[in-house]
Amino acid sequence: MSALALYGGEPVRSQPFPTIANASGRTFGAEELALLREVIESGSLNRGHGRKVAQLEEEFAALYGVKHCTASTSGTAAIHVALGAINPEPGDEVITAPITDVGTVIPILLQNCIPVFADVDPATFNMDPEDLRRRITERTKVIIPVHLTGGPCDMDPIMKIAEEHHLYVIEDCSQAYLTEYKGKWVGTIGHFGCFSLQQSKHISTGDGGLTITNDDGLGERATLFANKGWPNYGSGGRDYVMFGCNYRMTELQGAVGLAQLTKLPDAVRARQERAALLTSLISGIPGVLTPAVPQGGVHTFWFYPLRVDQQVLGISTGLFAQALSEEGIPASAHYIGKPIFLYDLLRSKQVFGASHCPWDCPRRPVSTVRYEPGACPQTEKALDDLVVLPMNEKFTEQDVRDLAAGIHKVVEALPDLRQRGAA
């Protein structure tokens, strides 16, 4: 057994892996440049005077088989567009997942609603339907399940609970392009599906968002909300028919999005093939658990979520990830570190000035929702056990084999790691 790089041995890998944060791991090229040139030469960079954003909306809706798509400035905006279309009352509760980016939570607060967090299934890192049921109160209006890392939530029981309680469902698909659940793509199961076009996602316009729905009324309101409540993106008379924000995507973003959309199926297929190879190479290692999905689910691997059983390994997740990193494997532990509600933004309950709105709002009784350790114990366990491994369409077979080799090397050296720790 060769010595771990952590203790002076030769690393498995000396070359950097292709990443999704720069050109080595993202498929920007001639197609994007050609469409961008069209926009620049037209002189129309605003969507009200061009066709690229509208075309992106049409093609994305057609891909997903839905009637309506609204483009916006970010994945956060895409969720806000959906919530704004629903227009909940101040002080209403919106239940979402505690393992997510704050971009899922910001729209809830901007609508003066109270975020509530349902615990997760530690095997999938996604919302546990039974815990969701326990969180519902008379204030609950909306559920936002987050399809984390490209893996689908268990949507059948979530939709059943929503129907029983007459709740809206907004699917956060920021990390889950072309992810399947029982023959359907996530984003088409709830009332809305929301997607991010941020730099690191399966496809990107740098930043941007897409909101889809099959509901005609909600689709119309979503489009209005993204354009200051102004119909037809400014073509025609000036008339503001509802409250909204300026979340208009530019024609430059629309041009890049159109080119990226043509590459999405191949990008997803490549990620799945690479991930399947990695799974085959590391399956059966005691204490190392490959990604789980609910029955009927198909993962699309925004990243590769590796779970470790710390009792079996006899070392911490942090030390395991550190040893991998020293081998040239870009691993990190715990993803967001702690449940999103334990960050000061939520724990302080102070978002708007010196007030405590929406938790303490004159229109509603004071909320009893609390954000504290132990509120979602399975989430804390899931994050404690999680190791994040990269996975993208630019990986070669050798890249994947190096990932697996690094994992095998660290596991074989566990006796040394247990004895020496991170000395």
Instruction: Give the range among 22-26, 33-37, 95-99, 192-196 with minimum mean pLDDT.
Output: 22-26
pLDDT (mean) for 94-112? 98
Asked whether 360 and 366 are in contact (CB, 8 A), the reply is yes
Domain that holds residue 219: 30-261
Residue 359 forms part of a structural domain: no
CATH number where 69 lies:
3.40.640.10
Residue 378 forms part of a structural domain: no
**Total structural domains within the chain:** 1
The string of pLDDT tens digits covering residues 394-410 is 999 999 999 999 999 99
Pairing of strands 93-96, 114-117: parallel
Crossing angle of helices 30-42 and 52-64, rounded to 10°: 140
Which DSSP letter does residue 250 get? P
Residue 126 forms part of a structural domain: yes
**pLDDT beyond 90 at 384:** yes
Of all residues in the chain, what percent carry a pLDDT higher than 90?
89
Residue 404 forms part of a structural domain: no
Of the candidates 121, 48, 109, 46, the one whose C-alpha atom is nearest the C-alpha of residue 83 is 109
String of b and e for 199-231 (b: at least 16 CB within 10 Å)? Answer: ebbbbbbebbbbbbbbbeebbbbbbbbbbbbbb
3 state SS of 288: strand
pLDDT (mean) for 294-301? 96
Of all residues in the chain, what percent carry a pLDDT higher than 70?
97
Instruction: Give the range among 125-139, 168-182, 228-242 with minimum mean pLDDT.
Output: 228-242
Residue 166 forms part of a structural domain: yes
pLDDT (mean) for 173-181? 98
**How buried is 384 (Cβ within 10 angstroms: 0-12 exposed, 13-18 middle, 19+ buried)?**
middle
Residue 316 forms part of a structural domain: no
Residue 411 forms part of a structural domain: no
User: What is the chain's mean pLDDT, rounded?
Assistant: 94
- Taking the C-alpha atoms of residue 43 and residue 203, their distance in angstroms, rounded to an integer, is 26
**How buried is 138 (Cβ within 10 angstroms: 0-12 exposed, 13-18 middle, 19+ buried)?**
exposed
pLDDT (mean) for 143-149? 98
pLDDT at position 76: 98
Residue 273 forms part of a structural domain: no
Q: In sequence order, what are the residues at sequence separation of 6 or more whose Cβ sits closer than 8 angstroms to the Cβ of residue 373?
A: 342, 380
- Token pair for residue 262? 């043509």
The string of pLDDT tens digits covering residues 18-65 is 875 554 445 789 999 999 999 999 999 999 889 999 999 999 999 999
pTM over 0.85: yes
Single-letter amino acid code for the residue at 263:
K
pLDDT at position 26: 59
Instruction: Give the range among 5-14, 32-41, 226-235, 398-407 with minimum mean pLDDT.
Output: 226-235
**pLDDT beyond 80 at 118:** yes
**pLDDT beyond 80 at 11:** yes
Strand ranges, E, within 323-369: 332-333
Q: In sequence order, what are the residues at sequence separation of 6 or more whose Cβ sits closer than 8 angstroms to the Cβ of residue 29?
A: none
